[in-house]
C-alpha cells in the first residue's frame, strides 16, 4: 500500500497558501509574499510538507532530460517529409 497525500485543506489558511505556493514555485512571489508564506509554513506542518514535496517534484521535472528520437522513428519521419517535399517539387515542375 502506498501512502496517501494529506488532504490539502486541513488547515484554514491552506486555500490561501495554495495560491501563494504556485507563485512561489514559479519564482514569481514578491519578497513580502515569500516571507508571509514562510511564517505560515513555520506554523503549519501540513502546508510545510506539501510545499516541500511540490518543490521537490518541480525540481525533478526540470531535471528530466530530453529523450533522443529513436533511429527508426527518425527515419520514418524523414521518409515522409522527403516524400512530401518531392511531391510539391513535382507539382512545381509540372506547373
Partner 1 sequence: MAEKRSLQVAVPALPVSDLELVRRFQAGKTEAFEELVRRYERKVYNIAYRMLGNEQDASEAMQDAFMRAFRFLSRFQFKSSFFTWLYRITTNVCLTRLRKRKPPETLSLDEPGGESGDVVLEIPDGKGSPEEVFRQKALRERLQAAVDGLPEEYRAVVVLRDLEGLSNEEASKVLKVSVPAVKSRLHRARLLLREELAAYL
The answer to the question of residue 37 lying near partner 1 (CB under 8 A) is no
* One-character DSSP codes across 12-49: TTHHHHHHHHHHHHTT---HHHHHHHHHHHHH-HHHHH
**Angle subtended at Cα 84 by Cα 78 and Cα 88, rounded to the nearest 5 degrees:** 140
The residue from 16, 38, 80, 90 that contacts partner 1 (CB under 8 A) is 80
The answer to the question of residue 73 lying near partner 1 (CB under 8 A) is yes
List residues near partner 1 by CB under 8 A: 1-5, 8, 18, 21-22, 25-26, 50, 52-54, 56-58, 60-64, 66-70, 73-74, 76-78, 80-81, 84-85, 88-89, 92
Amino acid at each position: 500500500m502506498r501512502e496517501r497525500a494529506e488532504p490539502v485543506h486541513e488547515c484554514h489558511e491552506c486555500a490561501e497558501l495554495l495560491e501563494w505556493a504556485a507563485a512561489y514555485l514559479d519564482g514569481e512571489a514578491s519578497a513580502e509574499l515569500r516571507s508571509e508564506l514562510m511564517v505560515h509554513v513555520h506554523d503549519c506542518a501540513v502546508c510545510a510538507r506539501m510545499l516541500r514535496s511540490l518543490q521537490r517534484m518541480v525540481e525533478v521535472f526540470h531535471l528530466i532530460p530530453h529523450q533522443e528520437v529513436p533511429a527508426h522513428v527518425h527515419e520514418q519521419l524523414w521518409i515522409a517529409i522527403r516524400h512530401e517535399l518531392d511531391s510539391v517539387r513535382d507539382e512545381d515542375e509540372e506547373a
